[in-house]
Structure 1
Amino acid sequence: MFKYADALLFPVEVNYPDPQFGRIMLEHYGGKDSEFSAATQYMNHRANMPNHFVRELLGLIAAEEHSHMEMIAEAINRLGGPPLCYVNSEGIPWDLTYVDQSLDPVAMLQADAEAEIRAKMLYDTHLTMTSDPGLKKMIRFLGDREDVHKHLFEKSQAMILQGAAPGSFSTLIREYRMSFPV
């Protein structure tokens, strides 16, 4: 179950308009390694994940990815970027092939960890392309969250491979909830 809160997960501060950088940020909104791709993939993997706790973790992270999308949208609008569509920075429409279709739990979590790695690399690249201090803070925050997600997906995968007791997976949910900065 998802609940909408009328507040951003992290403040979006844009010090000056930069429509060109707004177009670049579309990669995070509707590109191959976008927040939309991640949220869609995690929801699909959630529907096919047999472990209750990993299924819950995937839902929590998918919801967070949607909140990241909302932050990206706000940043693009404040930058004076192009209208928001599910396209990348070159105007190429989002494609379902961006979503991993694995059904094996280990393969799903591997694909999810790899998606986080690619997203983090994209954020790192875009961090160097702006001098706006507010945007830099937001991009760093988003990149740090990608690292948290990658860690949790890798930990989930390792627990499955090691045959961890079903109840021990509840630590993943606790760790996720404790991962937000105070």
Structure 2
Amino acid sequence: MFSYSKPLFYPVHVQLRDPLFGQVLLEHYGGKDSEYSAATQYLNHRSNMHNRYLRDLLGLIAAEEMGHMEMIAVAIKKLGGPPLSYVNSQGVPWNMSYVDQNLDPIGMLQADVEAEARARILYDQHFEMTNDPGLKKMIKFLGSREDVHKHLFLKAQILILQGTPPEQFIELIHEYKMSLQTTDNLGL
């Protein structure tokens, strides 16, 4: 299902080293609301989702979150931040309590919506903490992708609640793929 592609999901440009901001970005690497937490949660939810199109959507978004994590790692290294490990900015190790264990499809999707909302808030906070134009572009990009994921998870919840036949969920996959083209044309 997954494949590795050498190019980053979005370019990471850093003008000046800023080890302290590199430390802050660890929140997105190994913190509670990190890309790693999101990817792990979505893969777990994917394994427990009965609708094959929702499984596909969760897999696509989980893979994208891993790509985001790689971008964060590159940014941290370019900033001269600390060695990478699964910790937050305070050095607290990542743990499984960060991953929702719900088995109900609506509950899983709600937890995923909430994860995206928290990640967006964190990106917005960190956007304000840097003056580096390249980092601002990257953070803006990552925040916009959180919004796309949140929208798709909300839409999936609505479709389930409306009793939509499983095969009609394929539209979510199409919308996801179209969002990648739209994001490419944002000129961020």
Q: Structure 2: how far apart are the matches of 1:82 and 1:117?
A: 27
- Name the residue aligned to 1:65: 65
Deviations 1:28-77 (A, max 9, x none): 00000000000000000000000010010000000000000000000000
Q: Which amino acid aligns with 1:20?
A: L
- Name the residue aligned to 2:50: 50
Residue 170 of structure 1 and its aligned partner are, at CA, apart by 0.4
Q: Which amino acid aligns with 2:150?
A: K
- Name the residue aligned to 2:126: 126
Question: Percent identical across equivalent pairs?
Answer: 66
Q: Structure 2: how far apart are the matches of 1:165 and 1:91?
A: 46
Deviations 1:130-171 (A, max 9, x none): 000000000000000000000000000110011001111000
- Name the residue aligned to 1:11: 11
Q: Structure 2: how far apart are the matches of 1:162 and 1:84?
A: 44
Q: Structure 2: how far apart are the matches of 1:167 and 1:176?
A: 16
So what's the TM-score if we normalise by structure 1?
0.99
Residue 20 of structure 1 and its aligned partner are, at CA, apart by 0.1
- Name the residue aligned to 2:145: 145
Q: Which amino acid aligns with 2:5?
A: A
- Name the residue aligned to 2:176: 176
Q: Structure 1: how far apart are the matches of 2:47 and 2:80?
A: 37
2:176 aligns to what SS in structure 1? helix
CA RMSD of aligned residues (A): 0.4
Q: Which amino acid aligns with 2:45?
A: H
Runs of 4+ in 1 over 2 A off after TM superposition: none
Segments of 5+ residues of structure 2 without an aligned counterpart are none
Segments of 5+ residues of structure 1 without an aligned counterpart are none
Matched, 1:136 2:136: yes
1:78-97 to 2 correspondences below 5 Å: 78-97=78-97
1:157-172 to 2 correspondences below 5 Å: 157-172=157-172
Residue correspondences, number: 182
Deviations 1:65-112 (A, max 9, x none): 000000000000000000000000000000100000000000000000
Residue 21 of structure 1 and its aligned partner are, at CA, apart by 0.1
Q: Structure 1: how far apart are the matches of 2:6 and 2:89?
A: 27
